Amino acid sequence: MATEIKVGLAGFGNVGKGTYDILERNHSLIRQRAGAPISVKRVTVRNVDRVKLLVDEDVIVTNDWHDLVNDPEVNVVVEAMGGIEPAKSLILAAIDAGKHVVTANKALLAEHGNEIFSAAQAKGVNVAFEAAVAGSIPIVKALREGLAANRVSSIAGIINGTCNFILSTMRDTGRSFDDVLKEAQRLGYAEADPTFDIEGTDSAHKLMLLSAIAFGVPVDMSKVHIEGITHLEAKDIKFAEELGYRIKLLGITKYTDYGIELRVHPALVPTRRLLANVEGAMNAVVVKGDAAESSLYYGKGAGSEPTGSAVVADLIDIARTAEVAVSERPRMPTTTHNPKAKSFADFGDTVCSYYLRIPVEDKPGVLAEIARILADNKISIESLIQKEAPLEDASTEIILLTHSTREADIQRAIRTMQQLANVRGAIVLLRKEELQ
């Protein structure tokens, strides 16, 4: 028999309210699919009075999260508070009390997942987190179950809607980053303090979880190379377009001979690839496996009900399998899973192809100097645009694409080029992902 679920819900913001609303509206449909009823018994929030007006009168609303842990009828805690504390204490206390946990908290899991998953495994409870990565998209389930026959070789995703909205709008309008960021804030696509999104931290948290699932590694945020989009210039978006690429902020993790790559950075994606055509605040993840080959998952990465959809899917899975032995449940990424897990790669060992924009004096011989430095570092050029019209101060810009090369080699070449008397400013480097 499926297990009736009485939810203790912590937090009634975006995700908490979305989860509650779906459970109310689709109650009978969810009961039918889960094989047992799922309802919210308790909510804990800071502002009790506000939330009492938004929920059924038989839902108990208090302002102390311990109430969820102490209620023996609550068998699943949904953590929708966000942030590290008190979310972490709540989750560990819920696990300790033998309750299953569902959370959308990517920052917490990416930073403290090892401790949380180990505690859950020791207690034989689930910590489910479909909502933590790419909102409504069932990508955690796709990786763990749908693609379970595959040895995954790489994952590349647009997993931050704020950044994708900004980049799509910069391309469509030719406007600057700062200008579009302000619009995104006005429209509610970016927060008042957008640092977490635009610096790439949020994408890195989600990427860390995807990598942990796909490759069975413990989470370790110190291994993620992170670059955001704050330094992107409108002209690089334009030049990329001329070369047949769109710039997207990607989270990329690959299983390679030299270790597992983990990196978040803006990347040139060929215009004909589906991923290049993901517009606005949408999310998409491309997975490559040895049997399924390439597949892509696309949808809303944020929002109240899209995220709630993923929380409720986890609740339905728990209702179906709560009484099943832990070994048969969908696997959790923990340190105990894969003792032979590959280690993370040094970022310098990453193999990529590159876009360089080099501001130079418009003099004969400049291109020869640059070409020589690249050759000395065994970097070969795939294509080159020397912008024809020199700028007003007699400087111009060389734009080139390289073939595949090691990150350490391109960085060394850039340091050397930067010393040239004819190079007039900072060289811009962007990476290219063919996603073949």
CB atoms inside a 10 Å sphere around CB 386: 14
Q: Is 27 in the site for a second copy (CB under 8 A)?
A: no
Nearer Cβ to a second copy, position 200 or 306? Answer: 306
CA angle 264, 236, 373 (to 5 degrees): 85
Residue 342 annotated in ligand binding: no
Q: Which of 99, 206, 300, 432 is catalytic?
A: 206
Residue from 149, 368, 389, 421 in contact with a second copy (CB under 8 A): 149
Scanning 77-85, 193-201, 237-245, 276-284 for contacts with a second copy by CB under 8 A, the matching segment is: 276-284
The full 3-state SS of the chain, as one line of letters, equals: CCCCEEEEEECCCHHHHHHHHHHHHCHHHHHHHHCCCEEEEEEECCCHHHHHCCCCCCCEEECCCHHHHHCCCCCEEEECCCCCCCHHHHHHHHHHCCCEEEECCHHHHHHHHHHHHHHHHHHCCCEECHHHCCCCCCHHHHHHHHCCCCCEEEEEEECCHHHHHHHHHHHHHCCCHHHHHHHHHHHCCCCCCCHHHHCCHHHHHHHHHHHHHHHCCCCCHHHCEECCCCCCCHHHHHHHHHCCEEEEEEEEEEEECCEEEEEEEEEEEECCCHHHHCCCCEEEEEEEECCCEEEEEEEECCCHHHHHHHHHHHHHHHHHHCCCCHHHCCCCCCCCCCCCCCCECCHHHCEEEEEEEEEEECCCCHHHHHHHHHHHCCCCEEEEEECCCCCCCCEEEEEEEECCEEHHHHHHHHHHHHCCCCECCCCEEEEECCCC
Q: Which of the stretches 197-205, 229-237, 274-282, 392-400 binds a second copy when contact is defined by CB under 8 A? A: 274-282
Q: Examine residue 26 and tell whether it contacts a second copy (CB under 8 A).
A: yes
The answer to whether residue 206 is catalytic is yes
- Near a second copy by CB under 8 A: residue from 191, 293, 376, 434: 293
- By CB under 8 A, name the one of 14, 39, 62, 150 that touches a second copy: 150
Q: Which is nearer to a second copy, 126 or 402 (CB)?
A: 126
Whether 15 has a binding-site annotation, put simply, is: yes
Q: How far apart are CA 99 and CA 123, in angstroms?
A: 9
- Counting residues that bind a second copy (by CB under 8 A) gives 61
Site for a second copy contains 39 (CB under 8 A)? no
Report in angstroms how near the CB of residue 217 gets to a second copy at its nearest.
14
Shortest spacing between CB 205 and a second copy, in angstroms: 21
Per rule CB under 8 A, is residue 142 in the interface with a second copy? Answer: yes
- In angstroms, the CA 195 to CA 198 distance is 5
Q: Which of 77, 91, 124 is nearest to 314 (CA)?
A: 77
Q: CA-to-CA distance for 129 and 306, rounded, in angstroms? A: 14
Residue ranges in 94-133 that form contacts with a second copy under rule CB under 8 A: 130
26 vs 416 by CB, closer to a second copy: 26
24 is in an annotated binding site: no
Please identify which residue in 165, 177, 215, 297 interacts with a second copy, judged by CB under 8 A: 297
Closer residue to a second copy, CB minimum distance, 259 or 303? 303
Nearer to a second copy, 91 or 287 (CB): 287
Q: Report how far residue 419's alpha carbon sits from residue 358's, in angstroms, rounded to the nearest whole number.
A: 12
Residue 191 in marked binding region: yes
Closer CB to a second copy, residue 86 or residue 303?
A: 303
Closest distance to a second copy from the beta carbon of 27 (Å): 11
Residue 425 assigned to a binding site: no
What span, in angstroms and rounded, lies between the C-alpha atoms of 429 and 176?
A: 18
Within positions 303 to 362, which residues make up the interface with a second copy, using CB under 8 A? 303, 305-306, 308-313, 316-317, 320-321, 324-325, 327-329, 331
Nearest to a second copy of 30, 398 (CB atom): 30
Binding of a second copy by 138 (CB under 8 A):
yes
Q: Of the candidates 137, 138, 158, 142, which has an alpha carbon nearest to the alpha carbon of residue 292?
A: 142
141 binds a second copy (CB under 8 A): yes
Based on CB atoms, which residue is closest to a second copy, 278 or 356? 278
Q: Which of 218, 299, 348, 359 touches a second copy (CB under 8 A)?
A: 299
Question: Judged by CB under 8 A, which of 279, 349, 369, 382 binds a second copy?
Answer: 279
Angle (CA) 94 132 82, round 5°: 60
Q: How far is the CB of 188 from a second copy (least distance, A)?
A: 16
Residues interacting with a second copy, by CB under 8 A?
1-2, 18, 22, 25-26, 29-30, 33-35, 130, 136-138, 141-142, 144-151, 272, 274, 277-279, 289-300, 303, 305-306, 308-313, 316-317, 320-321, 324-325, 327-329, 331
Residue ranges of the binding site for L-homoserine:
191
Residue ranges of the binding site for NADPH:
106
Residue ranges of the binding site:
10-17, 106, 191
Catalytic (active-site) positions: 206
